[in-house]
Amino acid sequence: MPVNLPAPNPAELFPIAGVRIGVTEAGIRKANRKDLTVVLIDEGASVSGVFTQNRFCAAPVQICREHLAGDQGIRAMVINTGNANAGTGADGLARAQQTCVAMASRQGFTAQQVLPFSTGVIMETLPVDRIEAGLDAAIADAKSDNWLRAAEAIMTTDTAPKAFGTQVMLDGALVSITGISKGAGMIRPNMATMLGFMATDACVAPSLMKQLALELAEGSFNRVTVDGDTSTNDSFVVIATNKAAHKVIDSLSSPAGQALKAAMLGVAQKLAQAIVRDGEGATKFIAIKVEDGQTQAECRQVAYAIAHSPLVKTAFFASDPNLGRILAAVGYAGITDLDQTGIHLYLDDVHVAVKGGRNPAYREEDGQRVMKQSEITVRVLLGRGTAADTVWTCDLSHEYVTINADYRS
């Protein structure tokens, strides 16, 4: 059961003019399961993406980078589950490329105009014949209100679909934004999550798209972690179809640029947090805020050290206010000149540690009360500056071990 993850609200999953989505069962790993999704994009859209920093990045990630750099205009995406096509060498690259060729030949554009995405088990051969065999059915299924079905079709160990949308007025025109994501384990996105897709009908100058995608990822997917394992396949793609009736946005700092970015960031954060709420075995959603640091980077480093500590995560699972474990993680986060006597620790509103030691006023029952909640904020004050950062994570439960000990069997 995800932690306070709202079911997608169909009324908020706005069709985006210029984007149609189709889904089918291609039998890639298991039968009777929607596992192939195509996204058809009208000519004239601006598309950008950010991808995993994992050096063992999957074949489709390598192809996506090439095709986006090729600048021929992206016209379609093909997304399969059941197989990550990662750790598959030159053969994997050829199979990802073959997927693009098969899609392009059916639609009359070039292979360079197709982006492939794969997610699932690593180091197994992609059954590209099954993808090819499924393409026609997926294309025939394509329509603009298929976002929810796509959110379902890209799930792997996810227990619930993740889809959010919003609308915003830009220069008097109503603009829609809709996005989906998937992911539950192997989650410590470093540029993007397993898979995240967002589209808007807003008009955005192509030259701005890379910056927009990066800034959205930085404020959302790059702030979540389940298990600290950065995936081989992380991909986050932003599509602006340029169909809305407003002037093209040519700067993210213009009023319209700021409004669009804020609206899109809201959706991106919900999509990213949804992954943590559905984190493998998660029973709690935890925001870790680190403040008063010298730099944002060191605040993030401390937040991730806390978020990745198995001891901290199991204490949250147990609702045990064994909060010294948080201080220990702060201490080993890698700030070599950190002075422990400047540290304060809060659990929600409870002031646990003062100047590196236990707060004399702290009572175990107050810590216990907060630890029992399903949503918890950990706040660490470093006492050495004015920078801050936040990371979202979940606890580590028996269910995490069960899921990952059984995933392939």
| C-alpha closest to that of 95 among 131, 70, 66 | 131
Q: Which of 81, 193, 225, 283 is catalytic?
A: 193
Closer residue to a second copy, CB minimum distance, 31 or 405: 405
- CB nearer a second copy, residue 212 or residue 345: 345
Tell me which of 11, 69, 71, 89 binds a second copy, using CB under 8 A.
Answer: 89
Kindly report the number of other CB atoms within 10 A of residue 258's CB atom. Answer: 13
- Cα separation, 354 vs 362, whole angstroms: 10
Q: Is the CB of residue 118 less than 8 Å from the CB of residue 58? A: yes
> Does the footprint of a second copy cover residue 91 (CB under 8 A)?
yes
Q: Shortest Cβ distance from residue 5 to a second copy (Å)?
A: 21
Query: For 80, what's the count of Cα atoms within 13 Å in the CB-facing half-sphere?
Result: 32
Between 99 and 230, name the residue whose CB sits nearer to a second copy: 230
Give the separation between CA 374 and CA 376, rounded to whole angstroms.
Answer: 7
Please tell me whether residue 308 binds a second copy under the rule CB under 8 A: yes
Please tell me the distance from the alpha carbon of residue 41 to that of residue 125, in angstroms, as a whole number: 28
Q: In what order do the strands lie in the sheet with 235-240?
A: 46-51, 235-240, 195-200, 173-182, 162-170
- Which of positions 319-378 make contact with a second copy (CB under 8 A)? 320, 322-325, 327-333, 335-336, 338-341, 343, 353-358
What is the smallest separation between the CB atom of 335 and a second copy, expressed in angstroms?
Answer: 6
Any catalytic annotation for residue 157?
Answer: no
- Taking CB under 8 A as the rule, does residue 167 contact a second copy? no
| Residue 153 touches a second copy, criterion: CB under 8 A | no
Among the listed residues 169, 297, 311, 361, the single contact to a second copy using CB under 8 A: 311
> Which of 11, 31, 32, 55 is close enough to bind a second copy by CB under 8 A?
55
Distance CA 372, CA 180 (A): 30
Q: Does residue 84 interact with a second copy by CB under 8 A? A: yes
Cα–Cα distance for residue pair 86/70, rounded to 1 Å? 22
Which run of H or E residues covers position 275?
helix 255-277
Instruction: Decide whether 105 or 340 has the Cβ nearer to a second copy.
Output: 340
Instruction: Decide if residue 186 touches a second copy (CB under 8 A).
Output: yes
Element (H, E) at 36: strand 36-41
Pairing, β 76-81 against β 114-119? parallel
Q: Which is nearer to a second copy, 286 or 343 (CB)?
A: 343
Q: Tell me which residues in 227-266 interact with a second copy (CB under 8 A).
A: 227-232
Q: Which of residues 265-304 bind a second copy (CB under 8 A)?
A: none
From the list 39-47, 181-189, 239-247, 254-262, the region that binds a second copy by CB under 8 A is: 181-189
For residue 298, which of 353, 354, 336 has the smallest C-alpha distance?
A: 336
Rounded to a whole number of angstroms, the minimum distance from the CB of residue 33 to a second copy is: 20
Enumerate the active-site residues: 193
